[in-house]
Structure 1
Amino acid sequence: MKLTAALLLAPLALAAAAPKPNAHISYDGYKAYRISSGQNAASIRNKLAKFAAVQFNNFNFNPNQALDVAIAPDEIPAFEILGLSTEVMSQDLGADIAQEGPLASYERVSAQAVPSLTWFNSYHAYNDHITFFNDLQAAYPQNSEIFNVGKSVQGRNIFGIHLWGSGGKGSKPAVYFHGTVHAREWITAKVVEYITYQLLVEYNNDTAVTAILNNYDFYILPFVNPDGFVYSQTSDRLWRKNRQTRSTSSCVGTDVNRNWPYKWELPGGASTNPCSETYKGQAAGDTPENKALVNFTQTLANGKGIKLYIDWHSYGQYILLPYGYNCQARAANHARQNSLASSVAAAIAKPYGTRFTYGPSCSTLYTTTGSSTDYLTDVAKSELAWTIELRPTSSSGNGFVLPASQILPSSVEQWEGIKYLLAAM
């Protein structure tokens, strides 16, 4: 979700316009800076805007305190003579991306066999993710099924996997997970896959997991922005939005997590500029992805109800509670949510000591409007509705391109937190 610390900000010129088909955007030699702005953010943005060579994106943790910019190699000297107060966050964005490692091939065990845990040693192509889920479901056909909620802009299925326990399919309140709404946040898919894997593999083997799956129906959508994810793998590793075009602009993409039809119209938590990373769309819920998600969400809400919703993002290590649209607003059950978040953070820390900050989304991080968690809280009436920002911290040099060596540790610590939450809520 965030664009802080090292990274990894695509220059506005790259984010705004789509490259030619099959073109690949390289960040080799790009240098990332954090510009200290304090209360002078507007004047600094104006200064940069007048300097034509510098393209920047200012969607960070707190744009009143800092602006993050990515500068092409041949523009670095001109940028540095501006005399701004800066900190170098990355010497070479391309080198940071290379540390992520190549996409690995999926090694299938055999038909109807449980996929190997080696899946979590590497990142994989989108089609391999589809095969992984199909194989995982085929190994547990009695308590799982693959489903689709709709189509993306480019016609890909927005698919999910439904898990259930001894009560039978659809008999219990819903636990509902979303991953990869922001395309470049690859670690989110891996984490929700690991949680899915553990729920199925440990059912009837682990008493606590068996009780969890007997108490809830799980609906897990690992790629709610499949087009953007594919584009981030084939053309621009740092692509965030969907791939929707608009007749009124040459810029591509809408932020699906600013497009939900609740508090969408409020200013300050999203952008009306089609070139912005947080572009909210022309109307509430006007992306095909959001239409599909809203319809499915309401189906769950009108059925057995939604007990827990989590929208998985990276990065920063946060557990974010309602609300995003107003920094003073609190959910009716805020005290209980906050207490649970504190205990979940403690459980996450047990394997490796990783620390997560928790609190209401707006006051803890920044204002968001048209977000899924606010919609799930007030419209779909989910008892708990959280955003979890995964590794690394906002001060880390990795950001969105988390090395593959951190996939399994990130997944293990989240599983510890989720096991606690599912048993305690």
Structure 2
Amino acid sequence: MRFLRAALFIAPLAASIQVDRTGRQTYDGYKVFRVVPDRATADLEAQLESLSAVELSCNHGHADTQHFDVAVPPENLEAFAAFNYQAEILSEDLGADIALEGELQPFPGLETSVPATNAKAAAAAALPSFSWFSAYHPYADHLTFLKSLQAAFPSNSELITAGTSFEGRTIQGIHLWGSGGKDSKPAIYYHGNVHAREWITSMVVEYITYQLINNYSNDTAIKTVLDNYDFYILPIVNPDGFLYTQTSTRLWRKNRQTRSGTSSVGTDVNRNWPYKWDGEGSSTSPGSDARNLNNNRRYRGQAPGDTPENTGIRTFGDKLGAGKGIKLYIDWHSYGQYILTPYGYSCSAKAPNQSKQDTLAKNTGAAIAKIHGTQFTTGQTCSTLYATAGGSNDYFTDVTVAELAWAIELRDTGRYGFVLPADQIIATGEESWAGQKYLWANF
């Protein structure tokens, strides 16, 4: 009855959406809280929704770490306090945190710091400027960056596409290979930005791609992995949603798919995979308001695999699996600092090679920590974090049959969350690169 008593003292107000001069939603004055559940999850979620709180993240895994991270608009802060949740403040002003991301910067051009004195140096000099990783960038510039990467490695790379988004944008990526020639070796398949607001993921996937190209001629370990595996890398697989976060609503998660019979927009592409699609951890309701981020952000769609983005990246992945096979699949996410192995649909099911995956995940986390001390939690998705019906790594484990199929949640653990400052991009890339180098050398 605590909720009812609190409601008598102060009723939450309907949050009004504030926009800046460019039409983008602002979050000035929103406070971010970590709420520890002390009641039924459904009741807690309903109460938070009554506050127009934006759900940022949740952890339903271990009992001692269960929490919800939510952003509460300034007009409902008093009502939030009246509900008397067990909570800690993660951010005093979400709008100020978003400002720390910095303005979106244009493509900086090609690297000029390396003198082109020989063929190897000339190739390195043709890479995009490393200053790319000092800022976040408009969607169109990511496409320019990919083209420039390919031009710097012309004999061992090609641009690739994996279908088309709901709004008609091509899902673009890059394919890298070594001395065996293209399509001759098992695949390593990476996705970034399936969730639109997770900007750090595309930057890290691009960082790894940059380093693979830059180090192929001067690092025997990198030459070995590229000579033994073909890399297929798609930095932004939800281009419509990603662009929407840059032009309208920074914390948007889903794609931008509309459906008949509802005014709600968007489906969670990572609850749409056609395997164990209708289980715990996804929603059957698209919600009622296209701009209400808290409303069924895990909507799984009307049918398995019915988003065009899922169709594109799934069909591409299935083709790789049916060809030379997939050694490693990683779906890159933020935030929380987790390395998650299958399964998400069940907390008891185990992959056939679960012991090997557990060891590799733990040691990959240790390799990451050696760079900047960033600690990653490792384990199976459902028991470590929460149930995820219709998730990608389950599909790639049991349907496409990749040997390793992981989801990695990058920095941080909640202080900045999805709006990681630009000055952390390079450090996040460095530690992720170290983790991948360990993994490639030991799987």
Aligned ranges 1:23-422 → 2 under 5 Å:
23-47=23-47, 54-55=52-53, 57=55, 60-62=58-60, 65-109=66-110, 113-266=126-279, 268-275=280-287, 276-393=296-413, 396-422=414-440
- Paired residues of 1:54 and 1:79 also in contact (CA < 8 A): no
Unaligned runs of 5+ in 2: 1-11, 113-122, 288-295
The DSSP-based 3-state class of the residue aligned with 1:89 is strand
- Paired residues of 1:203 and 1:213 also in contact (CA < 8 A): yes
Unaligned runs of 5+ in 1: 1-10
Displacement of 1:59 in angstroms is 5.5
- Paired residues of 2:106 and 2:137 also in contact (CA < 8 A): yes
In 2: Cα distance, 1:27 partner to 1:286 partner:
32
- Paired residues of 1:122 and 1:407 also in contact (CA < 8 A): yes
In 1: Cα distance, 2:56 partner to 2:146 partner:
37
Aligned CA RMSD, in angstroms, stands at: 2.5
In 1: Cα distance, 2:231 partner to 2:46 partner:
48
Displacement of 1:353 in angstroms is 1.4
After superposition, the C-alpha distances for 1:63-104 in whole angstroms (9 at most, x for unaligned) are 984444332222322333334443323221101111111111
- Paired residues of 2:276 and 2:345 also in contact (CA < 8 A): yes
- Paired residues of 2:257 and 2:265 also in contact (CA < 8 A): yes
Q: With CA pairs under 8 Å and 6+ residues apart, which has the higher RCO, 1 or 2?
A: 1
After superposition, the C-alpha distances for 1:350-383 in whole angstroms (9 at most, x for unaligned) are 1111111111111111100111100000000100
- Paired residues of 2:57 and 2:70 also in contact (CA < 8 A): no
The residue type paired with residue 187 of structure 2 is: A
In 2: Cα distance, 1:67 partner to 1:278 partner:
15
After superposition, the C-alpha distances for 1:251-306 in whole angstroms (9 at most, x for unaligned) are 1110000000000022x211112121111000000000111112111110111000
CA separation of 1:14 and 1:376: change in aligned 2, threshold 3 A: farther
CA separation of 1:408 and 1:67: change in aligned 2, threshold 3 A: closer
In 2: Cα distance, 1:352 partner to 1:48 partner:
35
In 2: Cα distance, 1:14 partner to 1:181 partner:
28
Q: Which one is further off, 400-409 or 99-108?
A: 99-108
The DSSP-based 3-state class of the residue aligned with 1:211 is helix
- Paired residues of 2:38 and 2:86 also in contact (CA < 8 A): no
CA separation of 1:359 and 1:110: change in aligned 2, threshold 3 A: closer
* Count of residue pairs brought into register by the alignment: 408
In 1: Cα distance, 2:111 partner to 2:435 partner:
32
Match of 1:4 in 2: none
Provide TM-score, normalisation by structure 2: 0.87
Displacement of 1:207 in angstroms is 0.7
